[in-house]
Amino acid sequence: MEKNDFENFKQEVSWFVGQNDSVEIRHIISKTFSPELISTFPALYKLLLQSTSILSVDITTSKNKKSNYYLYTWTDRNGLKCGWLCKTEKIQTEIDVIAEHQLLLNEMGGITETYHHFDTEAEMLTDNQNFIFTQSLLTKGLGDWIDLYDQVCKDENVKQTDTKDLICFAEEANGNETFYDPDTKQVLLFAPDHSFENVEVLKGQPEYTFYTINHVTTFVDYVETLARQWLENIITEEL
Instruction: Indicate the pLDDT class of residue 194, thresholds 50, 70 and 90.
Output: confident
Whole-number pLDDT of residue 55: 96
Q: What is the pLDDT averaged over residues 172-186?
A: 97
**Over residues 9-37, mean pLDDT:** 92
Structure confidence at residue 29 (pLDDT) = 76
Angle between helices 219-231 and 99-107 (to 10 degrees): 40
Query: Whole-model pTM?
Result: 0.95
Residue 88 pLDDT > 90: yes
64-75 confidence digits (pLDDT tens):
899 999 999 999
* pLDDT for the residue 106: 97
pLDDT per residue as tens digits for the range 113-151: 999 989 888 899 999 999 999 999 999 999 999 999 999
Rounded to an integer, what distance in angstroms lies between the CA atom of residue 145 and that of residue 209? 9
Angle between helices 219-231 and 42-49 (to 10 degrees): 30
Is the pLDDT at 3 greater than 70? The verdict is no
Using pLDDT thresholds of 50, 70 and 90, give the confidence band for residue 193.
confident
Does the pLDDT at position 2 exceed 70? no
How would you class 65 by CB atoms within 10 Å of its CB: exposed for 0-12, middle for 13-18, buried for 19 or more?
exposed
- Provide the 10 A C-beta neighbour count for residue 239: 6
Q: How, if at all, do strands 167-172 and 187-190 pair?
A: unpaired
| pLDDT band with cut points at 50, 70 and 90 for residue 169 | very high
Q: What is the mean pLDDT of the chain?
A: 95
> Which whole number is the average pLDDT over 32-56?
97
pLDDT at 239 over 80: no
CA separation for the pair 41, 104 (Å, rounded)? 9
